[in-house]
Copies of this chain bind each other. A is one copy, B any other.
């Protein structure tokens, strides 16, 4: 029952999460008020506490959901660097609220089990995709696979992650100069390509 009437809401947790995401998209995580959420859902001011404990608990749930969705989106994107990067930016823009919460660990309990698992999942997809031979800038032609190569590969993942994360963050912050159009994907593509000559 997804009905919202009566003493028992029926699906309050989901309703609160959804309202929270919408509220965050409107005015950012800092402005989120538990009492406002309760009002939006039509329940009493203390109802959210039962499902999330406190504010940090709510953000923790959002972060977990976000890392899960990100892992899914990256998986669907395949293992080409360009597509992976585009998927990352696309996720950030389309799930702005989740994205902003995920990378503000002071808002939630980053050591929460669900969050850790979901984060690890998305991290693994990212690393796997970026480590794929076809996407390497230098395909390790010398055959050696020593420590240098490992460190090099890690730096490569970091560079790729940095550029897409940076672009997404700057875009969301409205820090980029005007005149780039309103489609982040178009700009992102030409930016990401710079990492591979």
Contact = CB atoms under 8 A, between A and B. Distances in A.
A177 B123 contact: yes
A145 interface: no
Interface residues of A, number: 40
A45 B151 CA distance: 52
A190 B103 CA distance: 23
Nearest to A28: B106
29 contacts: A28-B104, A30-B30, A31-B106, A103-B170, A104-B173, A105-B175, A110-B174, A123-B177, A137-B194, A137-B197, A155-B194, A156-B194, A159-B191, A159-B192, A159-B194, A161-B166, A162-B162, A162-B164, A162-B167, A162-B191, A163-B195, A164-B166, A165-B169, A165-B170, A166-B166, A166-B168, A166-B169, A194-B195, A195-B195
Copy total for this chain: 2
Interface in A17-37: 27-31
Interface in A146-197: 151, 155-156, 158-159, 161-170, 173-177, 187, 190-192, 194-195, 197
Contacts of A168: 166
A176 B158 contact: yes
Contacts of A105: 173-175
Contacts of A158: 167, 176, 187, 191
Given A106-B27, A137-B194, A173-B105, A162 B163 contact: yes
